[in-house]
Structure 1
């Protein structure tokens, strides 16, 4: 027995290649992509056709969805009932389809959860009125019929759509190596563009876009994509459309009344609530969902106060939630040539009009054939009436009356059969008159059809009239308003934080924390064993905090992100990566424009803006150039550098006051000399103990030397006034070992 005769041997590579190619062609052509003619995928076409075969027209009573799906998968679509039912549900959801093809009764899902529909045994369905625009001409010779999967029935290769359904409801699908994302459009706009193209075949995409303004989704969310981008999308067949929710102000609240297509209200509430929990939306106090049957979308945001600017808050929510959403557009479909292709707007409408012209021509030819057949039969009857006695005699006397009639009266076989099947009562004189009237009417119809078929202009006129009638019958106003806006930008993080006073505490070993309020006893806080207070600064949660290390590098972090002072805080080394062996020596906070005086204990300093100390780099940035052995002093803020005075005191008791304006303003560097410290004294350990800034005429500073302290008011400080870089005056003998200085008034 020769077993090899029962199979074919081919290389595995060739087999795999052929199998994958067959599969991919099946997915592309018979599953994922719509046909430009009727705009349907095979499963959708089979559902609509099966429902029409079940008599489920818009005027009929609905039947159980399980009955419909049973017919679909049993007769035409041998696939899973779940996926088939889901495809039918999608065509019934008014929030998914711009013009639903199925009228569903029962739970067919909700905008909140489109897949929450009931099982098919619980729901009922029938076709919607607009499905007639797909099916109305089905039995009029307009389509090719093919055997179903088991060859027992026939199904249409396409449906004779009277409107450009491929753009009407759009389509989404993923095939092999390609995908499609066709947005829905407005019927009246599409019809207007089709009529323009029929009148002006040379019309450009830009001219067609005078009618097709843009996609028209089932929701009333705004389409904010600029006009030129929409034009480019229709010109290239690819692009994106950005939709934005609509809101109004009601009694101080913000009420969202429309969401972008396929955006769930519950997801929006969840996204906003997550930001509120993370304390990133201090402007919102509460949110609630008040949606009902009268108001399908009504999400209420309650601002914390009447001072909250909705026009500032909403753009942030647009940028950080699905209140603003971008939809990919890829006008990929199967053309009249049976090949998938990404088409521009003109090509889509031109191909559909070619499809429609072919359909109308086939319909007219089909009708013409029926009219001519009927006229042929009527002509036979007329001859029979004129020779009625002879016809009766032949029928009564001849053994083969059919052949004799055909020979005697010159009738065709079809005419003779029709005469022989005619009932006796139809031979009355009245019936003869009816036949003559019908013949006249049919001849008039035949002449009219022949005129249409022979005149392209008149055929175009018929197509335009039918398009206008369907637009009038099924069309409606645009739902998605076109409002050109810029894409929303999220607010700066600092703008989303409630402005509250905090005191930032830095320990000697580099642990940082923030205590609420400005009246904080930093010394009294608990510290880790062997650690203690190094520096504090008063700040607000909306500000940045900057620290400077022993190498002169600065690092910054938002104040509101610092841990609470209830614990020991967190090590700065967890947030930043300073050079090896460096320690954190100074702390400051402020707004970007705050002027700071940065100084070293070697007596050099400069003025800078606080912004110069900030940055996102974990490794920080060099801000102060330090001489060997020098260290950074606590930075001091100056509200008005032109009028403020800087007080500099050395560890040996030399004090100098001069105008802050004498210092240069730099972004980084060493700065200028603040006070004269002779090299000999510097070598022996005299350093600048600290600096303080006082306002002209009302300043007051306190110096600490061991257990002693001395407070100097403005009148006392004036005596120490001088030029920058001078030696200054000596403090009283008991204050010759100053350790630190601070502004106290």
Structure 2
């Protein structure tokens, strides 16, 4: 036995290529992409056709969905019943389809959870009235029928759609190497654009967009994409459309009344609640879902106080939740040539009108054939009536009356069969006037059909007339309002934090924490063994906190992210990456425009804006150029550099006060000399700057510390130490020649 005759040997590469290409073409043509003519994928077409065959028209009584699914998968679509039922459910959901094709009774899902529909054995379904626009001309010779999967039945290759369904309900699908995302549109707008194209074949996308304003989703959410961008989508066949929820103010609260297409209320609530739990929405007090049958969408957002800017809050929610959503548009479909292609609006409507013209032509020809056949039969009947006695004699006496009738009265075989099949009772009652009246009526209809078929202009007129009638019958007003708005922007992180006072505490070993309030005894907090207070600053949770290391590099972090002072805090090395061997020496907090005096113990300093200290880099940024052996002093805030005074004290008891305005304002650098210290004493470490303090003109007060002693100098006392920047200053009283630090106390 020769086994080789039963199979073919081909290289694996060739087999894999052939198998994958066959699969790809099947997925593209017979599963994922809709046909431009009827706008349906094969499974949808088969469901609608099977329901029409089951007699489930809009006026009929519904039947169990399982009955329909059984017919579909048993006769036309040999695939899984769950996938088929899901496709049926989708066509019945008014929140998924702009113009549902199926009227479902029972649980067909909800906007909150579209896939929560009941099993097919529980639900019932039938077609909606608009499905008639797809099926009405099916039996009129308008489509090609092909064998089903097992060759026992026939199914239509497409449905004779009277409206451009491809744009009405749109489609989404993923094929092999391509996808489609066609948004739904308004029937009246699309019909108007088709009529414009029939009247003006040279009209471009711009002219068609005068009628088709944009997509029309099943929800009442706003489409905020600008008109020019929508026009670009229709010109190129691709892009994105942005939709935004609709809200109103009600008793100081925000009430959301419409959500973007395919966005569930529960998901929105979950997204907002997640931000509230993360303390990223301090302006919101409460969140409620008050949706019911009368108000399908009613989400209530309660602000924390009447001082909250509601519009600003909603802008943030639009940017951070699905209250504003972008929908991809990819007008990819199977064209009249049977090939998938991304088409622009004019190409889509042009191809559909060609499809419609062909459908109407086939319908007219089909009707013309029926009219002519009936006229032919009526002519035979008329002859029989006029010669009734002779016809009866031939039927009675002849063994084969048919050929005799055909020869005697010059009848066709079809006419002779029709006469012979007519009951004698009916023949006897035939009246020539009735035959002539029907004949005249049919001849008039034949003349009209011939005029339509021979006149392209009149054929266009018929198509326009039918389009207008269907748009009037099945169309409705636009649901998705077109409102041009800018895409929402999320609020800055600091704007989402409640502004509360905190005291930021930095230890000598670089551990940081934040205590609530400004009346905090930083010295009295507990510290790790061998550690203690280095610096403490008053801040607010909305501000940034900056630290400067011993190399002069600056780092920053939001104050609200710091750990609580109940514990020991966290090491700054976990947040930042300072150079090896560097320690954190200084701490500051403020707004971007806050001005600080930065100085070193070698007597150099400058003024800078707090913004210069901030940055996102974990490695920080170089801020202060330090001379060898110099250490940064605690930064001092200056509210008004033109009027404030800076007081500089050295460890050897020299004190100098001068205007802050004498210092340069820099983003980074070394700065200018503050006070004169002999170079030799500075080099040997005998004398350095003990500290600086910024005081207000006319009301300043400082406290100097030297061991256990402290000296309070009020404004009149400080005036005596006034002088020019970089001068030696005055000498403090005996007992304060060893100053350790200086603080502003008034």
Post-superposition offset of 1:432: 3.0
* Structure 1 residues 2-151: aligned runs within 5 Å: 2-151=2-151
1:713 aligned residue: 714
Q: Give the SS at the match of 1:524.
A: coil
Partner residue, 2:673: 673
Q: CA deviation at 1:683?
A: 2.6
User: Which residue does 1:658 correspond to in 2?
Assistant: 658
Corresponding residue for residue 454 of structure 1: 454
TM-score (norm 2): 0.99
Q: Which residue of 1 aligns with 2:702?
A: 701
Partner of 1:478: 478
SS in 1 for 2:91: helix
Aligned pair 1:495/2:492, yes or no? no
What is aligned with 2:445?
445
Q: Give the structure 1 partner of residue 632 of structure 2.
A: 632
Partner Cα separation in structure 2 for residue 19 and residue 209 of structure 1: 43
Verify: 1:732 aligned to 2:733, yes or no: yes
- Structure 1 partner of 2:220: 220
8 Å CA contact 2:385–2:430 kept in 1: the answer is no
1:616-645: CA deviation from partner (whole Å, max 9, x where unpaired): 001000110000000000000001111111
Q: Deviations over 1:295-335 (max 9, x none)?
A: 11111000000111111111111111111111111000000
Match of 1:618, SS state, is coil
**2: distance between equivalents of 1:168 and 1:684?**
88
**Map 1:361-372 → 2, pairs under 5 A:** 361-372=361-372
The CA deviation string for residues 435-493 of structure 1, in whole angstroms up to 9 with x for no partner, is: 22111111111111001000000000000000000000000011111111111110000
- 1:374 and 1:526 mapped to 2: Cα distance? 107
| Contact preservation (8 Å) 2:644, 2:694 | yes
Partners of 1:281 and 1:383 lie apart in 2 by 91
Distance in 2, matches of 1:536 and 1:523, equals: 9
Once residues 631 and 18 of structure 1 are traced to their aligned partners in structure 2, the CA distance between those partners, rounded to angstroms, is 76
Residue 409, structure 1, aligned to residue 424, structure 2: no
Q: TM-score, normalised by structure 1?
A: 0.99
C-alpha distance in 1 between matches for 2:104 and 2:740: 85
In the other structure, the counterpart of 2:171 is 171
CA distance in 1, matches of 2:199, 2:150: 45
8 Å Cα contact 2:500/2:540 also seen in 1: yes
SS of 1:522's equivalent? coil
CA shift for structure 1 position 655: 0.6
What's the CA shift for 1:172? Answer: 0.4
- Residue equivalent to 2:683: 683
After TM superposition, the structure 1 = structure 2 runs for residues 574-589 of structure 1, keeping only pairs within 5 Å, are 574-589=574-589
1:523 aligns to what SS in structure 2?
coil
CA offsets 1:112-162 (integer angstroms, 9 cap, x no match): 110000000110100011000000000000000001111111000000000
Matching residue of 2:200: 200
2:469 corresponds to which residue?
469
The residue aligned with 1:304 is 304
Shift in Å, 1:184: 0.4
2: CA distance between counterparts of 1:402 and 1:424?
Answer: 16
Could you tell me how far apart the structure 2 residues matched to 1:659 and 1:432 are?
A: 124
1:657: Cα distance to partner?
A: 0.6
Q: How does 1:270-289 map to 2 (within 5 A)?
A: 270-289=270-289
Give me the whole-angstrom Cα distance separating, in 2, the residues matched to 1:684 and 1:344: 82
After the TM superposition, which of the residue ranges 677-686 and 209-218 deviates more from structure 2? 677-686
What whole-Å deviation, never above 9, does each CA across 1:669-703 have from its counterpart, x for those lacking one? Answer: 00011111111221332110111111111111111
Q: How many positions carry a matched residue from both structures?
A: 745
Superposed CA deviations along residues 84-133 of structure 1, whole A, max 9, x for unmatched, are 00000000000000000000011000111100000001101000110000
1:433 corresponds to 2:433: yes
Deviation of residue 387 (structure 1)?
A: 1.1
Partner residue, 1:505 = 505
More displaced 10-residue stretch of structure 1: 588-597 or 382-391: 382-391
The CA distance in 1 between the partners of 2:150 and 2:162, in whole Å, is: 30
> Which residue of 2 is the match for residue 607 of structure 1?
607
User: Superposition pairs for residues 194-343 of structure 1, below 5 Å?
Assistant: 194-343=194-343
SS at match of 1:640: coil
* Counterpart-to-counterpart distance in 2, 1:741 and 1:124: 86
Query: Take 1:452 and 1:244, find their aligned partners in 2: how far apart are those partners?
Result: 47
Shift of 1:413: 0.5
Distance in 1, Cα, partners of 2:271 & 2:429: 82
Distance across 2 between alignment mates of 1:519 and 1:359 = 85
Distance between the aligned counterparts of 2:320 and 2:401, measured in 1? 88
Aligned counterpart, 2:745: 744
* 1:232-258 C-alpha deviation (Å, 9 max, x unpaired): 110011111111111100010001111
Looking at structure 2, the residues matched to 598 and 435 of structure 1 have their Cα atoms a distance apart, in angstroms, of 113
Deviations 1:399-449 (A, max 9, x none): 111111100000001000111111122234564322221111111111110
Q: Report the equivalent of 1:572.
A: 572
SS of 1:361's partner is helix
Question: Secondary structure of 2:598's partner?
Answer: strand
Give the match's secondary structure for 2:46. helix
Deviation at 1:385, TM superposition (A): 1.1
Q: Tell me if structure 1 keeps the 8 A contact 2:497–2:542.
A: yes
User: Which residue of structure 1 lines up, in the alignment, with residue 541 of structure 2?
Assistant: 541
**SS of residue in 2 equivalent to 1:195:** helix
Aligned equivalent of 1:563 = 563
- Mapped to 1, the partners of 2:620 and 2:684 lie a distance apart of 33
Contact 2:385 2:431 in 1 (8 A): no
SS of 1:122's equivalent?
coil
Q: More deviation in 418-427 or 586-595?
A: 418-427
* 1:716-739 alpha-carbon deviations (Å, 9 max, x no partner): 111111111111111111111111
Q: Distance in 1 between matches of 2:59 and 2:691?
A: 92
**1:419 corresponding residue in structure 2:** 419
Give the deviation of 1:228 after TM superposition. Answer: 1.1
Cα deviations by residue, 1:253-289 (Å, 9 ceiling, x for unpaired): 0011111110111111111011111111000000010
Report if the CA contact (8 A) 2:38-2:165 is conserved.
Answer: yes
Alignment deviations for residues 504-550 of structure 1 (CA, whole Å, 9 cap, x no partner): 00000000000000000111111111111000000000000000000
Consecutive unaligned residues of structure 1, counting only runs of 5 or more, are: none
* Structure 1 position 692 matched with structure 2 position 704: no
CA distance in 2, matches of 1:131, 1:501: 65
Give the match for residue 356 of structure 1.
356
